[in-house]
Amino acid sequence: GKLVVVSGQMGMDKVATLRWDGATAQARMDNLLSAYYGNKKVNAVLSPYDGLSIGIISSLKGVGYGSAGQPMPIISGQDAEVPSIKAMLRGDQYSTIFKDTRDLAKVTAD
């Protein structure tokens, strides 16, 4: 397949979410959906943090995603936070990453 960023917004200066705030991510996703996806399907959202993923999921559900006729796109996350684990069990979020900082610290120290 081919990854297409419909908005054309790429690079940290355009896509970073200030203070890793879920409400900010939700508002940004609301804007992206209304400006660029009126009649287009969202296939995936690559989110670097579960707290952002939850806001993104809320935005997508607000425009009808998560129904039989419009299934949720693939949504990633990171940190294995409880709300995202629950979202995965519901089928709203596709994946998260758990990085045990204790193990990472040990390997780094060695």
Q: In this structure, is residue 81 part of a structural domain?
A: yes
Q: In this structure, is residue 29 part of a structural domain?
A: no
Q: In this structure, is residue 20 part of a structural domain?
A: no
Are residues 80 and 49 in contact, defined by beta-carbon separation less than 8 angstroms?
A: no
Tens of pLDDT, residue by residue over 2-34, are 889 999 999 999 999 999 999 999 999 999 999
In which band, very low, low, confident or very high, does the pLDDT at 1 lie, cut at 50, 70 and 90?
confident
Domain count, the chain: 1
Q: In this structure, is residue 31 part of a structural domain?
A: no
Tens of pLDDT, residue by residue over 61-83, are 999 999 999 999 999 999 999 99
Indicate if the pLDDT at residue 46 is higher than 90: yes
- Provide the CATH number for the domain around residue 54: 3.40.50.2300
Query: Hey, what amino acid is at 6?
Result: V
Q: In this structure, is residue 82 part of a structural domain?
A: yes
64, 79, 26, 59 alpha-carbon torsion, rounded to 10°: 0
Overall pTM surpassing 0.85 (yes/no): yes
Q: In this structure, is residue 24 part of a structural domain?
A: no
